[in-house]
Structure 1
């Protein structure tokens, strides 16, 4: 199978002789609806056109069904977060020929005479927020963003403003290279109240530095009303995060998140790590949301309810777990965690009394975990806390 992928702009294309020959000698074509409208006059009368829509499984089935030679039309550079990468991954035995043109972000940078080589590209096309949130937390000064019909300039700007990232300006472009091209330089507040056409993309440039507060005093957090002690103290929190060894982990579960202090501190220290918080108290929902916004930590997934009753099949499995609360169900919760924790994963528990410490260590020994960290810590007049970390 030979697949020729031709990149085009958002206007009626003019093809080279080589490209025209490939089109004329092919029966099977594919692309988006917009691509079809732009190239249909070039197609042979007996052409078979397959519309590329999500999910892509139908398109892949058509490719395999007909075999032979195909011409696929794509926007810009097919290998720049494009269909070319997907096809190469799925059709490993096919031969590929690529004809790229400038991608949309390059066109946009040219319009504003900006050095696009200095921008970190993040695609939000059919993707979750993780890479974008990570870039914000890491203080990336320049970002180039690919959007879709869900992750739009408006939704992205509103998310940034929700978490206090108003320190960027936007260079926006839509329908680049086409008759309806539009560009604008905007503040995020302006973006949040405007309407835009698809396809679009934009560049973000930081206007002032943001220095995250790492090592947050507990007094700075919103807390449960009437429960001032229901928060992991700063000194204990920092040692806890160290014991979790998040520098080489991917997914942290914070069980019994309460105010979200451990989740928030973990996000600030390790933006690469996906943080998933569990808390049974309904009143903690607003508190954790407020704290996450206050300390500019987007991306914490939060589940409210009894940990043992939450369906976890579609939740990313952890390689690090902090047991911050267990509601009298320590062994039951640890058994559940054990069934999901990756090999080599770590569980950290902060014991406030001898009984809970012994129960945790007994469970650890019974399940053949290795005690890899033990530290006693007293903060002011508070009870002595033993920080325990065990490895699977």
Structure 2
């Protein structure tokens, strides 16, 4: 058994001789509803068609039960974030032959005259925001975006504007290569008003060189009502995340996030991190998102509850945790963190009293954590703060 994947555009342009031979050699086919309307006149009368829908188990079963050749029709290039990659992963030992066509972003680039090789592609087709958020924070100047019916151009632009990324223009295309093809160059404000049709894609290009500010003064964050000093000072915040050495980490938890200052600063310096903030104060439900938007920091997940009461069973395990607050029960919170922190993960805490420092150090010594850094910092006339960073073994 072998699999043939034929990429096609959004209109009928026929098939070459070799592709027709592959089609005529079998009765087993699959594709989307739109694909079937384009190719059905080329199929044998006794053909068997499997509609590609989510989940893909029906497609997998049809392929496994096929005695000879199975032909799959796909949009554009099957290896460009497409079904070709999925089938290679699902059938690693099966011969797969691919006939690609131009992908949608290539066709859009040809229409608007942009060098698509200089536009890294980010797929939001059935995918989370993480890579897109990372690109925005890093100030990526050019990117190609693949959409779906959930992450639409309007939804994407709304997110950009919510976090103050208005400095991009859009090259938009829909039904690329088809009879209903439409191409436009838009500002983001214009894009919000456009009546989008699926399928679509677009390029983003920056209009200036602005990037989010890093190293944010504690005075610039919106504070807790009546508690303006209840925030990690900038110098302490920057030193802490530097000592945590987060370049090669992937998941960061901010426990006791308060205003979100540590989570926000960490995301701005290390946008590749998946960051979750925990805070029990109800006020922070609005405060942390406000500060995230103010400082252009999308992608921080927030849980408003006592950290120990949050069901974290299905959370991605962190390899870096900052303990910003513990509600009077340090050892209980640390023991809960220990359940999830990966081996060789880092744990940081800023101590403002000798008592809290001693409790943290004692807990580390009793739980197989090696204290790697103990740095004392005094900011202006404030009391000295001890930065403690430990590694789990």
TM-score using structure 2 length:
0.98
Per-residue deviation, residues 31-63 of structure 1 (Å, max 9, x unmatched): 111111111111111211111111223322332
> Could you say which residue in structure 1 is the equivalent of 2:294?
294
Instruction: Please state whether the residue corresponding to 1:222 is helix, strand or coil.
Output: coil
Instruction: Please state whether the residue corresponding to 1:73 is helix, strand or coil.
Output: strand
> Could you say which residue in structure 1 is the equivalent of 2:186?
186
> Could you say which residue in structure 2 is the equivalent of 1:77?
77
Distance 1:329 1:45 in 2: 72
Residues 298, 67 of structure 1: alpha-carbon distance in 2 compared, 3 angstrom cutoff: farther
Task: Count residues in correspondence.
Answer: 392
Instruction: Please state whether the residue corresponding to 1:85 is helix, strand or coil.
Output: helix
Once structures 1 and 2 are overlaid, which stretch shifts more, 77-86 or 42-51? Answer: 42-51
Instruction: Please state whether the residue corresponding to 1:203 is helix, strand or coil.
Output: strand
Distance 1:184 1:276 in 2: 37
Could you tell me which runs of 5 or more consecutive residues in structure 1 were left unpaired when the two chains were aligned.
none
Distance 2:216 2:165 in 1: 19
Deviation at 1:195, TM superposition (A): 1.9
Q: Given that residues 154 and 195 in structure 1 are in contact (C-alpha distance below 8 angstroms), is that contact kept between their aligned partners in structure 2?
A: no
Per-residue deviation, residues 256-302 of structure 1 (Å, max 9, x unmatched): 11111111111110111111111111111211111111110111111
Distance 1:256 1:389 in 2: 17
> Could you say which residue in structure 1 is the equivalent of 2:330?
330
> Could you say which residue in structure 2 is the equivalent of 1:167?
167
> Could you say which residue in structure 1 is the equivalent of 2:226?
226
Residues 67, 225 of structure 1: alpha-carbon distance in 2 compared, 3 angstrom cutoff: farther
Instruction: Please state whether the residue corresponding to 2:65 is helix, strand or coil.
Output: helix
Distance 1:385 1:114 in 2: 52
Distance 1:172 1:331 in 2: 54
Distance 1:69 1:329 in 2: 64
Q: Given that residues 254 and 263 in structure 1 are in contact (C-alpha distance below 8 angstroms), is that contact kept between their aligned partners in structure 2?
A: yes
> Could you say which residue in structure 1 is the equivalent of 2:132?
132
Could you tell me which runs of 5 or more consecutive residues in structure 2 were left unpaired when the two chains were aligned.
none
> Could you say which residue in structure 1 is the equivalent of 2:146?
146
Deviation at 1:67, TM superposition (A): 4.8
Per-residue deviation, residues 317-346 of structure 1 (Å, max 9, x unmatched): 100000000001211111111111111100
Distance 1:124 1:102 in 2: 19
Per-residue deviation, residues 336-371 of structure 1 (Å, max 9, x unmatched): 111111111000011111211111111111111111
Per-residue deviation, residues 191-212 of structure 1 (Å, max 9, x unmatched): 1122210000000110111132
- Please tell me whether residue 265 in structure 1 is matched to residue 236 in structure 2: no
Q: Given that residues 76 and 100 in structure 2 are in contact (C-alpha distance below 8 angstroms), is that contact kept between their aligned partners in structure 1?
A: yes
Q: Give 1:309-320 correspondences, 5 Å limit.
A: 309-320=309-320
Q: Give 1:1-392 correspondences, 5 Å limit.
A: 1-392=1-392
- Could you list the runs of 4 or more consecutive aligned residues of structure 1 that deviate by over 4 angstroms after TM superposition? none
TM-score using structure 1 length:
0.98
Deviation at 1:77, TM superposition (A): 0.4
Distance 2:13 2:312 in 1: 49
Distance 1:279 1:62 in 2: 49
Distance 2:211 2:4 in 1: 47
Instruction: Please state whether the residue corresponding to 1:161 is helix, strand or coil.
Output: helix
Root-mean-square deviation (CA, aligned residues, Å) is 1.0
Deviation at 1:127, TM superposition (A): 0.3
Q: Given that residues 275 and 301 in structure 1 are in contact (C-alpha distance below 8 angstroms), is that contact kept between their aligned partners in structure 2?
A: yes
Instruction: Please state whether the residue corresponding to 1:144 is helix, strand or coil.
Output: strand
Deviation at 1:66, TM superposition (A): 3.1
Deviation at 1:65, TM superposition (A): 3.1
Distance 1:192 1:243 in 2: 42
